[in-house]
């Protein structure tokens, strides 16, 4: 456990140093984000804030894991591969936004195709290299549920929904990063209790790297993670949950992701049917902005909700 703590501390320091070095470089390259025109007035002030910030937590996480975990087994490889491959899809999206000079990177179908390819690769690696059955833990009832032929479709749905949900959550300074810190910490604690110490180490290192990133991403943000970070986090959280058989607990501990995604879906469907908006704006954090909530209040409220739901998730496993 002491080694895991040291790895986490080193990862945090490395992330802070990485940010200190890269942010001025990114600013000189004018790697600023583009904001949608219908965004709340306060949100439009974020135009030009440096993006591609995910490297601040991705690079330290990979370095610390690969050089400090004594035995990188197939479970760890699976988690690392998903982290990298979804980050790559997000990077393509961020890069195209910069090329197009607007808040539009990959087209919806293009992103869907690339995510499908990434998910397919992860699922194939999972089936080939991991000796896991098709059962998952059911929270609160202390039993497992065997999904059998429905397991793979369920996994595909999880990846697609989580990557997009985390991406939608990444709309306010520190929101997606901070919520993910709490969620990943929960997964780390459960990994330790399950005696999955290598996975616990991965979670602690990722959590610490995210804390280092939040030093620069908290309000007012100097840098944002972009799709590179959001898709990477969605993918890696899903992969960790798969290995731990905790897929059904993700909607509990990741309730903020869920709400952000559901409000967006409701908004789109309702508008297509009625031609009117169900919410003033979606995802829901923008609706709170329009109601006059400060950005810090919204973010801190979502942190509290996530922490409470993680506690509930922990109780559901006892």
Residue 46 gets which letter from DSSP? T
What's the rounded mean pLDDT across residues 199-206?
Answer: 97
pLDDT on residue 164? 96
Residue-wise pLDDT for 117-141, tens only, equals: 999 999 999 889 888 889 999 999 9
pLDDT at 41 over 80: no
CA 235/CA 131 separation, integer angstroms = 20
Contact 37, 234 (CB under 8 A): no
Sign of the dihedral defined by the CA atoms of residues 275, 278, 280, 281, in that order = negative
pLDDT digits (tens, 9 = 90+) for 9-36: 999 999 999 999 999 998 888 776 655 5
* pTM attached to this predicted model: 0.94
pLDDT band at residue 53, thresholds of 50, 70 and 90?
very high
Tokens of 289: 């902005």
The per-residue pLDDT for 106 is 87
Instruction: Please give the pLDDT value at position 177.
Output: 98
Whether residue 227 is annotated as binding a ligand: the answer is yes
Model confidence at 307: pLDDT above 70: yes
For the chain, percent of residues with pLDDT exceeding 70: 94
Lowest mean pLDDT among 83-97, 129-143, 196-210, 290-304: 129-143
pLDDT(286) > 60: yes
Q: Quick one: pLDDT at residue 18? A: 97
Instruction: Tally Cβ neighbours within 10 Å of residue 300.
Output: 15
Phi, psi of 44, rounded to the nearest 5 degrees: -65, -20
- Rounded Cα gap, residues 50 and 41, in angstroms: 19
To the nearest 10°, report the CA torsion of 168, 170, 171, 172.
Answer: 150
Alpha carbon 55 to its chain's center: 14
133 is in an annotated binding site: no
- Quote the CA–CA distance of 178 and 21 in Å, as a whole number: 22
Confirm if 293 and 302 have CB atoms less than 8 A apart.
Answer: no
In this structure, are residues 219 and 46 in contact, taking their beta carbons and an 8 Å threshold? no
Q: What's the pLDDT tens digit per position in 252-281?
A: 999 999 999 999 999 999 999 998 999 899
Query: In whole numbers, what is the pLDDT of the chain averaged over residues?
Result: 92
Whether 221 has a pLDDT exceeding 60, the answer reads yes
Q: Report percent pLDDT > 90 for the chain.
A: 78
CA angle 169, 173, 178 (to 5 degrees): 65
The DSSP result for 117-186, as a single string, is: HHHHHHHHHHHHH----SEEEETTTTEEEE-GGGHHHHHHHHHHHHHHHHHHHTTSTTHHHHHHHHHHHH
223: helix, strand or coil: strand
Q: Is 222 exposed, middle or buried (0-12, 13-18, 19+ CB in 10 A)?
A: middle
Phi-psi region of 163 (alpha: psi -120 to 50; beta: other; left: phi over 0): alpha
Positive/negative CA dihedral, 224, 43, 238, 186: positive
């Amino acid at each position: 456990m002491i080694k895991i703590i040291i790895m986490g501390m080193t990862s945090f320091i490395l992330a802070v140093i990485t940010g200190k070095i890269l942010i001025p470089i990114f600013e000189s390259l004018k790697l600023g984000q583009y904001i949608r025109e219908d965004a709340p007035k306060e949100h439009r002030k974020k135009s030009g804030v440096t993006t591609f910030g995910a490297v601040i937590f991705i690079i330290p996480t990979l370095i610390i894991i690969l050089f400090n975990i004594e035995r990188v087994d197939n479970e760890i490889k699976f988690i690392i591969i998903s982290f990298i491959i979804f980050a790559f899809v997000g990077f393509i999206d961020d890069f195209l936004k910069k090329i197009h000079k607007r808040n539009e990177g990959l087209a919806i179908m293009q992103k869907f195709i690339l995510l499908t390819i990434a998910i397919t690769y992860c699922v194939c690696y999972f089936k080939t290299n991991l000796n896991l059955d098709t059962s998952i833990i059911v929270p609160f009832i202390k039993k497992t549920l065997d999904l059998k032929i429905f397991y793979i479709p369920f996994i595909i749905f999880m990846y697609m929904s989580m990557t997009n949900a985390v991406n939608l959550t990444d709309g306010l300074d520190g929101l997606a990063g901070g919520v993910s810190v709490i969620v990943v910490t929960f997964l780390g604690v459960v990994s330790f209790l399950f005696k999955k110490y290598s996975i616990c180490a991965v979670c602690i290192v990722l959590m610490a790297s995210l804390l280092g990133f939040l030093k620069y991403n908290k309000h007012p943000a100097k840098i944002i993670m972009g799709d590179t970070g959001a898709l990477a986090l969605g993918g890696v959280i899903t992969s960790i949950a798969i290995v731990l058989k905790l897929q059904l607990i993700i909607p509990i501990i990741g309730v903020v992701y869920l709400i952000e995604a559901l409000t967006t879906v409701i908004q789109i469907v309702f508008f297509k049917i009625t031609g009117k908006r169900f919410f003033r704006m979606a995802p829901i954090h923008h609706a709170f902005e329009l109601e006059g909530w400060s950005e810090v209040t919204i973010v801190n409220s979502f942190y509290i909700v996530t922490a409470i739901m993680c506690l509930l998730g922990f109780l559901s496993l006892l």
